[in-house]
Amino acid sequence: MNPFATLARLVDEAPRRALLLLAAFVAVLLVAPVVLDRYLLSVFFLIFWFATVGQAWNIMMGFCGQLSLGHALYVGLGGYVGALFWVKFGISPAIAIVPAMLVAVAFGAVIGWLGFRFGIEGVYFALLTIAFAEVARIGFDNWSFVGGAAGFFIPVSSAASPVNLRGGPMLFYYVALAMMIIAFILCAALRRSRLGHAWLAVREDAEAARALGIDVFRAKMAAVVISAAMTAVAGVVYAFYQNNLFPSQTFDIARSIEMILAPIIGGLGTLFGPILGAFILTPLGQTLIALVEKIAGRAIPGVNLVFYGAALMVIIWFTPNGVWPWLKKKLGIPEGRE
Amino acid sequence: MDPPNGMLWSLYANVLVQGVLTGLVYGLMALGLSVIFGVVRVVNFAHGEFAVVGMYAAFVLFRSFGIDPFVSMLPIAAVFFVIGYGLQRTLINPFVSRPEHEQFILLVGLAIIMVNGTLMIFGPDARSANLSYSFDSWEIGAIIVDKVRVYAATAALAVAALLFAFFRFTATGVAIRACADNLVGAAVVGLDVKKLYALTFGLGLACVGAAGALMVTLTDATPMIAPAFTLLAFTIVIIGGMGSMTGAIVGGLLIGIAEAMASVLIAPSMKTMASFGLLVLVLALRPQGLLGRRA
């Protein structure tokens, strides 16, 4: 499939008004750093980052119906591979994203094979993904080559070098923005592809999909592998943004859950859901942290997560399909159109 | 038998005893999850969080009022029963017929609020109950047994036995089992399914509340241990067989022994690895669990 032809077709199919709105939105984001300070740049980085990983996770759960609760595994693997290549061998992260993706794909393939071959489904499959993230956490905790529990650090250099992901918040703002846009286009193209239709069929009714001649196992494997690779790229960027990796944080189940909030709140299985969810949740969470710090005079850890938890419960109670389908109706976009 | 070998065997025996005793407390915790899943068909993803709240409740009652956790486990279990009954009636019942992932998201939301609420109130530091008899032990030949572990295991076994008796010998217990076996049939003969579900959820939480109180005598309380407990209970229930009560206890014993053995024979950090290894093995070879029935 020719990516440019697909892109042209996507543009062609979209309603004009929506396209104009989208272009204006991207244009605003492109010039926004002129007025944003360091703090706001970092907030936007987080929004773009969560939108990207949310998009990746959405391929598995939203498109293919496979619940993963261990996506922190792929973030961590990507981050460690990228950081190791740079620190130990001086290889640029621009190149290291390839091995990072490969390692994540290998792990994703093992989890997928174990799960789908043996018919482990639903919550059982979710538990399997958590188990692998936990095993990775313990493994990295005890692996001295990567610093063990004491963490692995990427030295901060004063010389900016965008190809090597060395630079200030402005650089990471644009890198994450690019990531979010590419992830969106990729997902839009995948959803319209033959594979995308196979995923939706598997999600709705795996037996019926099999009867139609869809290779259910392969469709599920493709979802895991593509999702893992995308998440690993985001993992590399995050590691270079943070400049440090601690197994207890990187592979934490709390991280896995934080990653799935945006697509759930925005709208499972939709293209705009993960982006919308990230734009709603991250700023609210960050504002809450700042607000509580101002009122209490000190940071109280966990405040933003209590809010996220409440948001999850409210959303799933009232609009289990997320905010985007509701907003779509308000904007007058017809059913069946994104 | 030469001395080094003898020492090795006494080490194994010690570890085995310790694993069995801890495993019984694990089993009680998992029993709550298994009962709820077996009847209501909802996976309580906030299970470990409830265990941690139980731990903190016992901790506070001990520190502020000097009430021993082995006594306070009873009122804690009672309060947890009421909470569980209320939760099922209000929050969870509307989700019983909703898709699995929606139930899951609701309970994950609850779990996040509980664990971070505990974090906000008590802070991240580990809290230890420091019972006066924490370090007392009995020596039986070469085997040294912590008294507190024996008490905890006995209490766990007693609570589990009570629950078994309830399901076996009382009319309500039999009615709940009827709901689990054949929901439509149970509704047809006029059982109040909603009420029985609420009772079951209450009983499940009472188990985990009691287990939490017992756990505080064995290990420190910290909010961050909650997801690990959820995983632990979940792993035990899958190994034993989802919805099987005996399976939960057997799974708890197996995990308790595996963890104790791995932490002594390999490395303490390998504790969790051992239980996950067991989990992957069971999922691959016998997905319905050791004592579970194929759905």
Name the residue among B268, B257, B203, B269 with its Cα closest to residue B37. Answer: B203
Name the residue among A255, A201, A245, A213 with its Cα closest to residue A50. Answer: A255
Q: What percent of chain B has pLDDT over 90?
A: 53
Q: What are phi and psi of B145, to 5 degrees?
A: -115, 125
pTM assigned to the model: 0.87
HSE-up of residue B165 (Cα within 13 Å, Cβ side): 6
Distance CA A20, CA A15 (A): 9
Three-class secondary structure of residue A153 per DSSP:
strand
Distance CA A266, CA A281 (A): 9
Distance CA A326, CA A309 (A): 21
B66 part of a folded domain: yes
pLDDT at A335: 54
B267 part of a folded domain: no
The residues, any chain, with a CB within 8 Å of residue A166's CB and separated by 6 or more, are A156, A157, A159, A160, A240
Greatest mean pLDDT among A153-167, A306-320, B279-293 lies in A306-320
- Please list every residue in chain B whose beta carbon sits closer than 8 Å to the beta carbon of residue A142: 267, 269
For residue B195, give how far its alpha carbon lies from the nearest alpha carbon of chain A (Å): 21
pLDDT at A331: 75
> Is B131's pLDDT higher than 90?
no
Q: Which of A327-336, B160-169, B190-199 has the weakest average pLDDT?
A: A327-336
The residues, any chain, with a CB within 8 Å of residue A85's CB and separated by 6 or more, are A91, A92, A93, A95, A96, A99
- The pLDDT-based confidence of B1 (bands split at 50, 70, 90) is very low
Q: Kindly list the distances between the CA atom of residue B16 and the CA atoms of B191, B218, B255, B275, B281, in Å, as whole numbers in the listed order.
A: 45, 16, 11, 15, 21
Distance CA A294, CA B198 (A): 42
The 10s digit of each residue's pLDDT in A251-269 is 988 889 889 999 999 999 9
- The pLDDT-based confidence of B208 (bands split at 50, 70, 90) is very high
pLDDT at A167: 82
> Is B293's pLDDT higher than 70?
no
> Is B2's pLDDT higher than 80?
no
Structure-token pair, residue A3:
């990516």
B94 part of a folded domain: yes
Number of domains in chain B: 1
Length of chain A counted residue by residue:
338
CB contact under 8 A, A309 and B109: yes
For residue A181, give how far its alpha carbon lies from the nearest alpha carbon of chain B (Å): 27
pLDDT at B68: 92
- Cα B92 to its chain centre, rounded Å, is 20
What is the ipTM score, two decimals?
0.84
- Cα B146 to its chain centre, rounded Å, is 21
The 10s digit of each residue's pLDDT in A103-158 is 999 999 999 998 898 877 888 888 889 889 988 998 898 888 888 888 999 988 77
The 10s digit of each residue's pLDDT in B250-286 is 999 999 999 998 888 887 777 888 888 888 888 778 8
pLDDT at B295: 46
Domain range for B25 is 14-225
pLDDT at A146: 87
B284 part of a folded domain: no
User: DSSP states of A67-86 as a string?
Assistant: --S-THHHHHHHHHHHHHHH
> Is B42's pLDDT higher than 70?
yes
- The pLDDT-based confidence of B167 (bands split at 50, 70, 90) is very high
Tell me which chain B residue has its CA closest to the CA of residue A304: B116
Among A114, A141, A254, the residue with its CB nearest the CB of B280 is A114
Note whether B113 and A306 are within 8 A (CB). yes
Among B105, B119, B276, the residue with its CB nearest the CB of A312 is B105
Interface contacts (A, B; CB < 8 Å): 102
pLDDT at B292: 76
Residue for token digits 């399914």?
B193
B248 part of a folded domain: no
Distance CA B246, CA B239 (A): 11
> Is A1's pLDDT higher than 70?
no
Strand ranges, E, within A161-239: none
For residue A309, give how far its alpha carbon lies from the nearest alpha carbon of chain B (Å): 4
B57 part of a folded domain: yes
Distance CA A115, CA A72 (A): 18
What does DSSP assign to residue A243?
S
CB contact under 8 A, A316 and B110: no
B287 part of a folded domain: no
pLDDT at A21: 83
- What sign has the CA pseudo-torsion A42, A44, A49, A54? positive
Q: Which residues of A touch B (CB under 8 A)?
A: 61, 67, 114, 118-120, 122-124, 126-128, 130-131, 134-135, 138, 141-142, 253-254, 257, 264, 300-303, 305-306, 308-313, 316-317, 320
Residue range B80-109: mean pLDDT, rounded: 91
